[in-house]
């Protein structure tokens, strides 16, 4: 059996920037073990699989190590594949997922994600938190799946020296580091060593927590953010109470085909 695969740079104005994701359109689900092995073989932070569903599609996301409940950049990449490669003609794409209904639309050149917000709850620092980054953050917040640490300025974010072995002891999906910025409304970095990703280039799902925090902090509902990883990516954000909109560009890096041995598809 041969199935198509696309590698898309999400939140990118040009290839070799943003966050690469693999997208695998299917007519029906492969066994979980097979999808996990494909994600491991791709060795990207996320591989998205989707199948047709009533009034849209059903989407799932896998890191090289595990399935996750929500992934922004791979959802944007999947929508890009539908719009630009699979001739999807509707203005809105509806993805059913483990995080509920996710809507994606086009706004000019941008693809815009409509995601549920995460809670942003202030919590106490864990002991020896300076060891996590080489510097103590100003504040700490807990979201649905992530911890978020707020620092003074963009320079501190750029110069963080994460201790990944220590970050693995923090029992959350990922760790967000963020600060205000002169050029953008805010900047961030995202670390998820427990999920097999030391640093993610651009993380849409982290902005379900970042956008509500900075919208309230800055007193505005429309914000422009940048994740300042090595590859980097710009996100165009809007806060709407219990939902956030996250917009970005995407670029096709590669299209191809996966050969699946039938025996692998017959066992879960």
Catalytic option among 46, 145, 195, 199: 46
How many angstroms separate the CA atoms of 199 and 227, rounded?
Answer: 11
Place of tokens 């080489």: 134
Whether 202 and 10 have beta carbons less than 8 Å apart is answered as yes
Whether 26 and 263 have beta carbons less than 8 Å apart is answered as no
Which residues are CB-contacts of 41 (< 8 A; sequence separation ≥ 6)? none
> Which secondary structure element, helix H or strand E, spans residue 216, and what is its range?
helix 207-218
What token pair was written down for 148? 């978020």
DSSP strands (E only) in the chain: 2-10, 19-25, 47-53, 56-62, 67-68, 92-97, 100-107, 110-116, 121-122, 139-142, 146-150, 174-180, 186-192, 197-200, 222-227, 233-240, 243-248, 250-259
How many angstroms separate the CA atoms of 85 and 253, rounded?
Answer: 12
Annotated active-site residue 90? The verdict is: no
Provide the annotated active-site residues: 46
């Amino acid at each position: 059996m041969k199935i198509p695969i696309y590698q898309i740079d999400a939140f990118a104005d040009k290839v070799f920037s943003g966050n690469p994701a693999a997208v695998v359109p299917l007519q029906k689900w492969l066994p979980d073990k097979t999808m996990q092995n494909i994600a491991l073989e791709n060795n990207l932070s996320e591989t998205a699989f989707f199948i047709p569903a009533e009034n849209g599609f059903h989407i799932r996301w896998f890191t090289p190590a595990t399935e996750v409940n929500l992934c922004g950049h791979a959802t944007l990449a999947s929508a890009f594949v539908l719009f630009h490669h699979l001739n999807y003609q509707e203005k809105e794409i509806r993805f059913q997922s483990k995080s509920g209904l996710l809507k994606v639309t086009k706004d000019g050149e941008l693809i815009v994600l409509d995601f549920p917000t995460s809670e942003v709850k202030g919590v106490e620092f864990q002991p020896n938190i300076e060891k996590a980054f080489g510097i103590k953050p100003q504040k700490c917040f807990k979201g649905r799946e992530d911890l978020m640490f707020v620092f003074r300025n963009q320079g501190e974010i750029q110069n963080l020296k994460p201790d990944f072995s220590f970050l693995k002891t923090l029992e959350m999906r990922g760790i967000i580091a963020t600060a205000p910025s002169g050029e953008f409304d805010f900047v961030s970095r995202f670390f998820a060593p427990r999920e097999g990703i030391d640093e993610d280039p651009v993380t849409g799902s982290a902005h379900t927590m970042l956008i509500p925090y900075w919208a309230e902090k800055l007193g505005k509902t429309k914000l422009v953010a940048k994740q300042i990883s090595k590859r980097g990516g710009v996100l165009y954000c809007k806060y709407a109470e219990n939902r956030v909109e996250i917009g970005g560009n995407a670029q096709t890096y590669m299209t191809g085909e996966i050969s699946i041995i039938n025996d692998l598809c017959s066992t879960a």
